[in-house]
Amino acid sequence: MPAFGEPVQPLPQRVDQLVGSDLLSRLNQVDVMSRKIFAGKLQGERRSKRRGISVEFADYRHYTHGDDLRFIDWNIYARLDRLFLKLFLEEEDLSLVLALDTSASMHWGNPSKFAFGQRLIMALGYIGLSNQNRVSAYAFDDRDIRMTQNLRGRRRTRDLGAWLLEQKPGGGSAFKDAMRRIALGRHGRGVMVIVSDFLLKEGYEEGLRFVSGRGFDVFCLQTLSPEEIEPAKHGFSGDLKLTDLEDGDVAEVTVSPALLRKYQENLDGWCGGLRAFCARRGMVHLTVDTSTDMETLLLQYLRRRGLLK
């Protein structure tokens, strides 16, 4: 078994290692779902309740001075000698924002949380691109916040994949700053997915407050490795020297049944606190074991939680 704290899985080197062709073909029938109906500026694949210019007729109203003459129904005018304006359902442009935590703590476990996050972001991005959503992706840690924005159409799949392969884990967390920057960006409205272990010394509260209530349906996908979820099953025992991958803090511990129980209580409390925080603000939290089959996660779990349809 590798030493505690060392990554055990190499990172993907090619786009087809992120998501294979078999899974991509199954994702062609899936779409991102917003729990709200939003009105966008560009014509997309969804319809909102806001009336504007589109292809689907909705209703009539009386003409008033200043209305666009192009939308007068002249057939009705010929019959009734009165001017009526045609109203249409405006199509909606859904924005999909994907945020990947690239701090050093993510590159640990078997499977690696970071590699799993890359694959998950790629799969969700492909779904968005295939359905003509506007897709923007962010990678964040305390070294920098990188982004690729406003991708649209299946032809941009390789661009997203190449960008993901460029991202390397390292540094500490910059969660609050990253969420502030994303919140202040011009994304329109839609769905935001944050992929992180959320094991943040700075806490998650301030960061999530920035993105709460800004027109996004926010999904917090907390990725944890099997070793983190159940360390007792993965051979952690005896005297260990633990090093924090992000800030270098060192702790020497003796792993005992009592210590493992305390660890489990603390982990459950942390995850439960995050879940409750999200629920109070209308966000969705899901803990994801990185050993979970990607197809099962996408086509079953995320469908049940309302992210995909």
- The average pLDDT across 153-164 equals 95
Q: How far apart are CA 215 and CA 212, in angstroms?
A: 8
| Residues 13 and 281: beta-carbon distance below 8 Å | no
pLDDT at 194 over 90: yes
Rg (CA), the chain: 23
Least confident of 90-104, 209-223, 235-249, 280-294: 235-249
Band of pLDDT at residue 301, cut at 50, 70 and 90: very high
Which residue in the block uniquely carries the two structure tokens 């049944």? 257
Per the structure block, which two tokens stand in for 287?
């803990």
Sheet with 134-140: list strands edge to edge.
145-151, 134-140, 95-101, 190-196, 216-224, 284-289
pLDDT at 251: 61
- The average pLDDT across 214-231 equals 90
Q: How far apart are CA 84 and CA 206, in angstroms?
A: 51
pLDDT at 111: 86
pLDDT at 45 over 80: no
Task: Render pLDDT for 52-99 as a digit per residue (tens, 0 to 9).
Answer: 444 556 667 777 766 677 778 888 888 888 887 776 554 557 899 999
- The average pLDDT across 10-20 equals 88
DSSP, residue by residue, 256-296: -HHHHHHHHHHHHHHHHHHHHHHHHTT-EEEEEETTS-HHH
Per the model's pLDDT, the better-predicted residue between 257 and 135 turns out to be 135
Band of pLDDT at residue 114, cut at 50, 70 and 90: very high
| Residues 30 and 302: beta-carbon distance below 8 Å | no
Closest CA relative to residue 224, chosen from 248, 252, 196, 200: 196
Please report how many Cα atoms fall inside a 13 Å half-sphere around the Cα of residue 67, on the Cβ side: 17
Closest CA relative to residue 11, chosen from 160, 227, 169: 169
Query: Model pTM?
Result: 0.79
pLDDT at 175: 95
pLDDT at 223: 96
- The average pLDDT across 143-162 equals 93
pLDDT at 37 over 50: no
pLDDT at 215: 81
- Cα torsion 111, 112, 118, 120 to 10°: value is 40
Percent of the chain with pLDDT over 90: 50
What is the average pLDDT score of the chain?
83
Q: How far apart are CA 284 and CA 62, in angstroms?
A: 43
Least confident of 15-24, 52-61, 64-73, 213-222: 52-61
Q: How far apart are CA 239 and CA 306, in angstroms?
A: 44
- The average pLDDT across 169-173 equals 88
Domains of the chain by start residue, with CATH: 15-37+94-304 (3.40.50.410), 46-92 (no CATH)
First to last CA, the chain: 40
pLDDT at 286 over 70: yes
